[in-house]
Structure 1
Amino acid sequence: MSQESQHGKWSVSSSDDDDEQLSSAQPSKPADSTSHHLASVSSTSRHLADSTTTHNLPPTPTTVVKTESNLSPVRTAPSTLVIGSEARQMTHTSQLRDLRPVKYESSPSLAGKRKKEADDSGWALSDSGDDDGDDDNGRNGKERSSDLPSDPHRSSPVPRAKKPKVESKQERPPSPHGRVDYVDEPEDFFERSVPCSNDTYRFYLNKVTGLDKKYNTGALHIKDILSPLFGTLKESVQFNYCFDIAWMVQQYPPEFRNKPVLIVHGDKREAKARLLQQAKPYSHISFCQAKLDIAFGTHHTKMMLLWYEEGFRVVITTSNLIRADWYQKSQGMWMSPLFPRLPEGSAPSDGESPTFFKRDLLEYLAAYRAPELTDWMQRIQEHDLSESRVYVIGSTPGRYVGKDMDRWGHLRLRKLLYENTRPIPNEETWPVIGQFSSIGSLGVDKTKWLTGEFLRTMSTLGKTSLRSDPPLHLLYPSVEDVRTSLEGYPAGGSLPYSIQTAQKQLWLHAYFHRWKAETTGRSHAMPHIKTYMRTSPDFTQLAWILITSSNLSKAAWGALEKNNTQIMVRSYELGVLFLPSAYNMQTFPIQRNPYPIRSSTNAFPVPFDLPPERYSEKDQPWMWNIPYTQAPDTHGNIWVPS
C-alpha cells in the first residue's frame, strides 16, 4: 500500500497493512513478530553478481550483545556493504533490480532486541518510545491487545499459538556500517587533565569521532568519565538498557578494570542468559534484574553510580553501554560533583540538597525492590549530596493512585514545575520544545495524550489557575538529516519510528522540526539525547530544561487512566531537571555559541540550534522500516527494509 501525506508518499508491503487488526487475546505475551531485517546496500555494488557479494567475507566473532538501535546482521566485502536478508526481497524488485541483499547468519556484536517475545527467526528492539499499549483508560486494569502499539517488526497479525514464544535477538556488527568502518580516535581525543567545563550546570555532551577538535572541547567520552582524573574508583554500578560487556570493561582504565561492577538491566529469559554469558570471562561483574511487571515496559534508565576512595559520584546519561552510542551520535549527560563522605554518626537526613536530590535518588533505587542495591543505598546515605542543584525525574513501572500519582513520570515533572517555578507574563507565547530519538503510539488525535495531559504538564509554571496552550515544537530527524549524517542511513537504526505507528498519527507530524546543531558542530551526529524545555518566544531564555532517557511515549512518561484518578507507567526512566530557582535565577540565559567552552557561565548550553526549523513540504520524518533508495547516504548506501 502507499500513503500520501504532507511529508511525501510512503510505501509499505501488504503484510504491514493490517497492523490494527490485532487479536483481542490477553497482551501479557505480545503477538509474535516476523523478521524485518534492515538491508542497507552500497550503491557501488549495483553491478556486482551474487558471487562477488557472498565470497571472501572476513571471519566474524560470535560475541552476542544487544542494542537499542537495531540493524540486521552485517558483513562487509572490500567493495560492498550488505545488510539484511533475502526475505520479502521481491516486494522491492522494481526498486532494487540487481541489488541482491544476502542473508548472513551471524556477525559481531550489537544484537538488537525488544522486551517482547518473538519468533526465533526475528529480532526486535525496544526503545522507551515504541511500546505503548493503550489501556482504554484503564478499564478493569487490563491492557487490550487491540490497543497494542504498531511494532516496526510486526508485519502482520500472526496468531500467537502458531509460533514459539521465545525472546530472540539477531546479532549485528559493532560499527553501524560494518566492522571495518570504525575509526580509531586520535591520540588527543581523551582527556589527560580535568577538562574545561561548564561548572555551573555540570551538563556535558559526548565526544563525537570525526568532528573538528574544537567541537569536542569540554565534551566527555566514557573513558574520560571513568578515568582516574575524577577519582580513585573502588566499585561502580551501571544501569542501562543495552550492554556490550567486553567493550564496557575496556572503557575502565587498567587500574580499575577489575574493580567490582554491578549491572542493573531488564533482560529476561534467553536475553538474560545471553547477557550472563557475555560476563562469564569477568568474575568482578554481578547483576541485578529490574522487575518489569507491565507489558511493553523496558529498563531504559542510563545511570552510573561511582564509589571512590575520595567520595561518591552520580552520572545520569542518555547513552547505552555500546560503542555505537559513544561514537558518532549526539548524547548528553549530567555529572554530579564529587560528594564527600559525611562524618561518623551523621543523621540519615544529613547531606541533603535544597532540591532533595538525595531523598529522591534513594526513593528511585528503593523502587527496584532489589537486595543487590541495598549496600549502594547505604553508601548514598553516608555521603553529603548537598551540592546537588538538580531535581530527579524518574519513571518506574506500576499503576499509581492518590498521593503516589505524582511520584513518577510526567506528573512528577508537573508537581516540580508547580512548586518551584513562577508564572511568566504572556506565558502562552513561551513554546515547549521536545527532542527525542523514538516516538510511541500517542492516539488518534492530539487531545488523547499529547496536548490532553502531556502538554499540560510541560506548560505548568507555578501555582496559577492559568493553563496556557503554548506552541509545541517537536525535534525529530528528517530523512535528509539521517541521509547526510556521519553514519548515513544506519544512524536511522537508533530512530525506531515505524510507518505503522506514523500512519496512525499523521496529525503529529505537523509539530515536527529538523535536528539542527550547527553551533555545536553536531548537525551530522544524529541525536540519541532526549531534552524537554520551555523557552522564551525569542529563544534567548529558558524557564526550565530536562535531560532524560525518556522518549516521546506513554510507556516512558505515563498515561492517565480511570478518569484521571490513576497513572500507569510501563518503563524505568531517569533524568535531571534544571530549574532557575535552584540557581537563584529567574530564567536561564541560553548559550548560543558554546565554543570555546568557558568554565563559569550562567548561560545554559542548549545542544541544538534555536529557533527550531519547521519541516518543509519536502521533508519526511525518518521511519526506519521503509526503503530509502532515491539518494545514497554519506557512505554510498541505500536503505532497504526487507
Structure 2
Amino acid sequence: MESYLKRKITEVNGTDGDAKIPKREECPHKERCYRKNPHHFKEFQHPFLISLLEMGDSVKIPDNMPQPKDVYLEQLDILRPIIEAAKKPINNIAKSQTEIKEESLDSNNMQPSTSKVSRKGKTTVFNPFSIVKTENSELVKNTVAGTMLHKLKVNDPYNLFFTTIPKSPETYKETNAVTFTDLLCPSLGTLKCSLQINFMIDIDWLLKQYKIRNLHTKPLTILYGDDWPDMVEFMDKFCPNVKYHFVKMKDPFGCHHSKVGIYVYEDNSLRIVVSTANLYYEDWNHYNQGLWISPVCPKLPEGSTVKDGESPTSFKQDLIKYLQSYNLAILKEWIEYVKNADFSNVKVALVYSTPGKHYPKSNGNHLHKVGDLLSQHCTLPVKTTPESEGPLSWGIMAQASSIGSMGKSPAEWFRGNLLRSLASHKQSPRPNNSQATISIIYPSVENVANGYFGLESGGCLPYSKATNEKQKWLQTYMHQWIADGRNRTRAMPHIKTYCRVSPDLCKLAFFLITSANLSKSAWGSNIQKDGGSYIRSYEMGVMFLPKFFGEEYFEISNSPNMKNKKVFPFIYDLPLTPFKKDDYPWCN
C-alpha cells in the first residue's frame, strides 16, 4: 500500500509535474472485490477483470467465484470505458493540474456537464446549481444563487432535502435536491472540523468528497457500525486527520443505524444534518435519500449555561443526551460544541433510539418519543357532525426501506404498538385499539425490476423473504413506490418517512423523517405492563410539527385553497397505489 500512499501525496501536493502515469497497485481484495465506484478502478489494477475483458463478447465468469456473477458483470461495464480512455495518446493524459481538478470535481460529485473557466492560480467550475471555487477562493457571497446557503434560504423554514439522482437529470432542477459536497459548501461557513455518525462509511469515498472542497485535511471524527474491508488499516496509514470508533453492538440483532453529521465552523458555530443515507457512493447516487439541515447555531456568549440557547422543541438537550449515551471519550469535544451553541432557531424535534429499555416521557425509543410528541402537540379536526372531517379521516402513512418481524397478526405489534404511537394526538393520547387507517409504502418486485439498475436496484431493500412469508397479512397494507411527480420512481427509496395526511391529500398533521425502518429493533418492542419498551438499535430522525412553525397544518399540495406560500416537500405521489393481488413486496 506504500505506492498508494505516494500517489496520494502526489495528488495532494501536486508535485508530479512530468505527467507520468503512476503504476497502479493491484486491488488487495482481488477476486473478492465488490466495489462499483469508478474511482476505485482508476486507482487499483484488477487483473482478473482485465482477463475477462480480453474474452470480448464471450465473457464467461467461473461458477466458483466469491461474488455473484452480476457483480463482476457490472464491474466490467465500469472498467471497460476506463480501459478505453487509457489507450488514448499520452498528451491527452498529460493535462494541467487545473484541468485535472476540474474533472475530479465533476466525476466525484456526479454533477451534469458544466462549463469551466480556468485562470492562473484560480479555477472556477460553474453549473446551474452550485458555484465552487476550488483554489485560493474566498467565501462565496451569501446571496449567490445556487450556493448551499441560497438553497437553505429558498427552502426555509423546513430545510428538508432529497439527494440528486444522476440517472434522473430532472432531479438536479429541484430546489431542494443536494449532493454530499453541498453540505461542505463554503457559503455555509469556513469548516473547522466535522463529526460523522453513521452505519456504513466508505472512508476513501468520504474523503474524496471533502477533497472536492479542499477540506480533506480538516479534522474528521467518525463513529460507524459496519466496517469496509481494510478500513482501519487504511485510516491508520493514510488518514492522520481522522479519529474513529467502531460501535460494536452487544445485541446481535441490533444495528448502529443512526446517520447524523455535525459541522463546526471557524467561529465555533455549527450545523446539524440528520440523514437517511450511509456514506458511500451508491447511497448518494443510486437511491432516494432525505436529509434535514439545521439553521446555523451560533456560539453562545461567554458565561452562558448549557440550558441557554435551547430549541422550543428541546432539540439541544436531546442531542446532548444522545451523544452522552455512547459514553465515549472521542465525543467529549463534540458534546461541548453542542452545549456552547444556540439552538433557539431549530424548529424540529429530535427523535432517536438507543439500545436498552426505555419508558414514556423520555427519549431513546421511537415508540415513546413519537407518541409523547404527538400527544402533546398534534392537533386534528374535531368531528362535530356525521358529515364533518374527524381525526379518523386523516390517514397514517409509513414509508420505509426494510421491514422486520411483526408477528402473526396486525394486533401484536403493528397496530398494538406502532399504530398506537403514530395515531396519538392531543385529543387522544396513545389510543388503545385505534381505528385509524395506516398504509405502508414499500417497493414491489415490479417497482424494483423497473428501476434504473434492474433487479440490482433492490440492493437497499433488505426485507427478508422468510419474514414476509410469516406475515402475509402485511401485504394488505402495502402500496407501490411511485414518485413520478419528482421524477424519482425508478430510483428505489432508502429514505424512511412517517406522516398523517388529510382526506383531501393536501395537508399534513405531522411528518417524521428518520433512519428507523419498520421494525421492533428500531422503534421498540411491545410495550410492557410497566410501560417499558426494549430497543436494540441506534436510530435518529427529526419530527416536523406544524405548531412549532406557526402553522395549523403543513400544506403539501398547490390546491386553490392554500393558505401558505410555503409547500412542504413531499417525495412520493398521492393518492397511493395499492398492491394488486399478484404483487409481491421486494425481498432479499
TM-score, normalization by structure 2: 0.75
Match of 2:167 in 1: 210
CA–CA separation in structure 1 for the residues paired with 2:465 and 2:265 = 47
**For the residues of structure 2 that align with 1:81 and 1:266, how far apart are their CA atoms?**
41
Report 1:237-276 matches (<5 A).
237-252=195-210, 253-267=212-226, 271=227, 274-276=230-232
Segments of 5+ residues of structure 1 without an aligned counterpart are: 1-57, 68-72, 83-98, 108-169, 594-599, 625-642
Indicate conservation of the 8 Å contact 1:539/1:610, yes or no: yes
Deviations 1:18-71 (A, max 9, x none): xxxxxxxxxxxxxxxxxxxxxxxxxxxxxxxxxxxxxxxx9972369999xxxx
3-state SS of paired residue (2:486)? coil
1:443 is matched with 407
Give the direction of change, closer, same or farther, for the CA distance of 1:606–1:181 in structure 2 (3 Å limit): farther
Return the offset for 1:611.
1.1
The aligned amino acid for 2:513 is: I
Q: Is contact 1:175–1:324 with CA below 8 Å preserved after alignment? A: no
State the Cα distance separating 1:335 from its structure 2 match.
0.4
Which of 519, 522, 541 is residue 485 of structure 2 equivalent to? 519
Per-residue deviation, residues 563-583 of structure 1 (Å, max 9, x unmatched): 353210000000000000001
- In the TM superposition, 1:411-426 aligns within 5 A as 411-425=368-382, 426=390
Q: How does 1:462-473 map to 2 (within 5 A)?
A: 462-464=426-428, 468-473=434-439
Say whether the 8 Å CA contact 1:305–1:313 is kept in structure 2.
yes
Deviation at 1:210, TM superposition (A): 2.1
Residue 297 of structure 1 pairs with residue 258 of structure 2: no
Q: Following TM superposition, by how much is the alpha carbon of 1:592 offset from its aligned partner in structure 2, in angstroms?
A: 5.8
111, 114, 123: which one aligns with 1:185 = 111
Contact in 1 for aligned 2:161/2:178 (Cα 8 Å) = yes
> Which of 593, 596, 609 is 2:573 aligned to?
609
| Cα distance in 2, alignment partners of residues 499 and 214 from structure 1 | 32
1:455 counterpart letter in structure 2: L
Shift of 1:601: 4.0
Q: Which has the higher helix share?
A: 2
Distance in 1, matches of 2:272 and 2:545, equals 19
User: Shift in Å at residue 464 of structure 1?
Assistant: 2.9
User: Residue 470 of structure 1: CA displacement?
Assistant: 1.2
* Matched-pair contact (CA < 8 Å) for 1:418–1:460: yes
Q: Which whole-Å CA distance do the structure 2 matches of 1:415 and 1:579 have between them?
A: 12
Structure 1 residue 503 corresponds to structure 2 residue 469: yes
Letter in 2 for 1:342: L
> In structure 2, do the counterparts of structure 1 residues 250 and 579 end up closer, same or farther at CA, with 3 Å as the change threshold?
same
Q: CA separation of 1:208/1:409 partners in 2, compared to 1, >3 Å: closer, same or farther?
A: same
CA distances 1:487-507 after superposition (whole Å, capped 9, x unpaired): 221111111112111111101
Q: Distance in 2 between the 1:390 and 1:322 partners?
A: 27
**What amino acid is the match of 2:111?**
E
Match of 1:558 among 510, 524, 530: 524
Deviation of 1:378 (Å): 0.6
- Deviation of residue 293 (structure 1)? 2.3
Map of 1:453 onto structure 2 = 417
Matched position secondary structure for 2:493: coil
Q: Given that residues 417 and 527 in structure 2 are in contact (C-alpha distance below 8 angstroms), is that contact kept between their aligned partners in structure 1?
A: no
Q: Secondary structure at the match of 1:509?
A: helix
Identity over aligned residues, as a percent? 34
1:104 paired with 2:104, answer no
What CA deviation, in whole Å up to 9, does each residue of 1:189-220 have, x standing for no partner?
76214244311200001111022346543211
Q: In 1, Cα distance between the equivalents of 2:216 and 2:469?
A: 48
Which one-letter code corresponds to 1:474 in the other structure? I
Decide which of 532, 556, 560 is 2:498's aligned counterpart. Answer: 532
Q: Is the 8 A contact 2:507 2:557 kept in 1?
A: no
Aligned to 1:568: 534
Determine which structure has more spread, i.e. the larger CA radius of gyration: 2
Supply the distance in 2 between the matched residues of 1:462 and 1:174 (Cα, whole angstroms).
55
Kindly report which structure 2 residues correspond to 1:45-84, keeping only aligned pairs within 5 A, or say none: 61-62=27-28
Q: What letter corresponds to residue 308 of structure 1 in structure 2?
A: Y
> Aligned with 2:313: secondary structure?
coil
- 2:242 maps to 285
Listed as ranges, the matches of 1:163-202 within 5 Å are 179-180=78-79, 184-186=110-112, 187=114, 188=127, 191-192=130-131, 193-194=146-147, 195-196=150-151, 197-202=154-159
State the partner residue of 1:578.
Answer: 544
Distance 1:172 1:60, change over 3 A: farther
Tell me: CA distance 1:448–1:580, structure 2 relative to 1, closer, same or farther (3 Å): same
2:89 alignment partner in structure 1? none
Letter in structure 2 aligned against 1:319:
A
Q: Which of 283, 290, 294 does residue 332 from structure 1 map onto? A: 290
Partner SS state of residue 543, structure 1 = strand
Distance 1:488 1:560 in 2: 37
Per-residue displacement from partner, 1:435-458 (whole Å, max 9, x unpaired)? 111111111111110001100111
Residue 265 of structure 1 aligns with an amino acid whose one-letter code is Y
Question: Contact 1:424–1:461 (CA<8 Å) still a contact in 2?
Answer: no
Instruction: Number of aligned residue pairs: give it.
Output: 474
Tell me which residue corresponds to 1:12: none
Normalising by structure 1, we get a TM-score of: 0.68
Paired residue secondary structure (1:424): coil
Structure-to-structure mapping, 1:360-375, within 5 angstroms: 360-375=318-333
Of stretches 198-207 and 276-285 in structure 1, the one that deviates more from structure 2 is 276-285
Q: 8 Å contact 1:238–1:305 — kept in the other structure?
A: yes
Answer whether contact 1:318 1:528 (CA < 8 A) is retained. Answer: yes
CA distance in 1, matches of 2:273, 2:80: 30
Query: Does the 8 Å CA contact 1:495/1:622 hold for their aligned counterparts?
Result: yes
State the distance in 2 between where 1:278 and 1:65 align: 16
Task: Name 2:306's counterpart in structure 1.
Answer: 348
CA offset digits 1:150-169 (Å, max 9, x no partner): xxxxxxxxxxxxxxxxxxxx
CA contact (8 A) 2:359 2:368 kept: no
Q: CA deviation at 1:460?
A: 0.4
Tell me, yes or no, if the aligned pair for 2:185 and 2:213 is still in contact at 8 Å: no
Alpha-carbon deviations, 1:586-631, whole Å to 9, x = none? 11111469xxxxxx9432111111111101123221112xxxxxxx
Say whether the 8 Å CA contact 1:319–1:326 is kept in structure 2.
Answer: yes
C-alpha distance in 2 between matches for 1:181 and 1:528: 29
- The equivalent residue for 1:478 is 444
Q: Secondary structure at the match of 2:526?
A: strand
Measured in 1, the distance between the counterparts of 2:294 and 2:411 equals 38
Q: Which amino acid in 1 is paired with 2:436? A: P
SS of the aligned residue for 1:224 comes to: helix
| Alpha-carbon contact 1:236-1:306 (below 8 Å) kept | yes
Which of these residues, 422, 427, 434, is aligned with residue 391 of structure 2? 427
Whole-angstrom distance in 2 between the partners of 1:174 and 1:587 = 49
Comparing 213-222 and 547-556, the one that deviates more: 213-222
Matched, 1:227 2:191: no
- The 1:178–1:355 alpha-carbon spacing in structure 2 relative to 1, beyond 3 Å, is farther
Q: What is the rounded CA distance, in whole Å, between the counterparts of 1:231 and 1:383 in structure 2?
A: 15
